[in-house]
Amino acid sequence: MDKEWGVVLVGAKGCLKLTDVCECLIRANLFSRLGYNLLIVNEPNGNSANAPKSKVRNAWNWLLVVPALALAFPAIYSRPTPELFGFPFFYWYQIAWILISALITAVVYFATENT
């Protein structure tokens, strides 16, 4: 089994960790009367496969900066030519980046969904 399941009772007086889920569920009513809430948590058992992959997630998140940089300096794209369907470059460039941003956001979301 890759993961251990544990139960933590959280309250103003501190936290109580119990490993026997059944015993804890039976006692949950008693603990709730004492001011504890039942919280079932997934905790890693020291296996590196369970460690969060924040570096991978951070690498994908850098793609989200591209649309911001592409639109950050209007002096670069503030010109009337070339036109597309009668729209000046200034307008269709921004509209194109709305669509590109949606695609980049989808790529980043699906790439980091399981991490």
Q: Report the b/e string of 39-58 with b at 16+ CB within 10 A.
A: eeeeeeeeeeeeeeeeeeee
Quote the DSSP letter at residue 6: E
- Cis-peptide into 44, omega within 30 deg: no
Specify the pLDDT at position 73.
93
pTM beyond 0.85, yes or no: no
Q: Which residues pair with 41 in a beta bridge?
A: 6
Q: Cα(65)–Cα(30) distance, rounded to whole angstroms? A: 51
Quote the DSSP letter at residue 72: S
Specify the pLDDT at position 114.
78
**Closest among 41, 63, 44 to 53, alpha carbons compared:** 44
Specify the pLDDT at position 22.
46
**Which residues of the chain fall below pLDDT 70?**
1-57, 115
Domain ranges of the chain: 4-46, 53-112
Specify the pLDDT at position 113.
83
